Amino acid sequence: MNETRPGLPETTLQPLVLASSSPRRRHWLEAMRIPFEIQVPDVDETPLLDEEPGDLVLRLAELKAEVVAQRHPGRWVMAADTTVAVDHHTLNKPVDVEDAVRMLTLIQGRAHQVHTGFCLQRDRDSHSFVDTAQVVFRPLTEAQIRWYVGTREPMDKAGAYAIQGIGALFIEGVEGSFSTVMGLPVERVGELFLRLGLLLPWMGLPR
């Protein structure tokens, strides 16, 4: 998929390429008023044997950015990947209803970690990191879990919940960045964009 986001100020710089189909990541770029195009890479997201959650999301973010950057020389490409971890379990997007129920049963009534890997690449110039937040879930009954899964909101979310949606009702607290849980560590990404001068042409901020 290749899509250009309209309605933003004109610039002599080429739009950033977002290597993601996530509506949350689109939202954050639009909020920062950064012109961008979307190109979703086709990569194998299967975890490696004994791969730690933080290593997984960093590897996938870098892989997605690399694949798309090869098609767009001289362009900045942004990619990210998010997963949820509890105990020794890595929770990606549920494959079906019962998998979503399983994930929510694992995380209810306790704390879990959300890891988001980020990569910004232009040719051989690459900047990447992992940001982690801790989320505490309220205790949930099986009936509550199945009701939530029935809304379909969990079905395309890592860990089977959306902190920016109905899932917020089940959260007691967050330690770290709220935006990291949504899928993009905006505080650190914004700092990097400012340092590289990616925000200044459109926002008119003083150097």
Give the pLDDT confidence of 4-19 residue by residue, as tens digits. Answer: 444 434 444 689 999 9
CATH number of the domain within which 166 lies? 3.90.950.10
- pTM of the prediction? 0.87
Residue range 74-84: mean pLDDT, rounded: 96
Give the pLDDT confidence of 87-114 residue by residue, as tens digits. Answer: 978 999 999 999 999 999 999 999 999 9
Angle between helix 142-150 and 97-107 (nearest 10) = 130
Report strand pairing: 125-137 vs 111-122. antiparallel
Using DSSP's 3-state secondary structure scheme, residue 8 falls into: coil
Note down the domain range covering 17.
Answer: 2-203
Residue 89, pLDDT score: 86
Residue 173, pLDDT score: 96
Alpha-carbon distance of 15 to 27, in angstroms, equals 16
Find the catalytic residue in 44, 50, 81, 131.
Answer: 81
Q: Is 44 a catalytic residue?
A: no
Q: 81 vs 10, 36, 132, 138, CA distance in Å?
A: 29, 18, 12, 25
Number of structural domains in the chain: 1
For residue 191, give the H/E element and its range.
Answer: helix 186-196
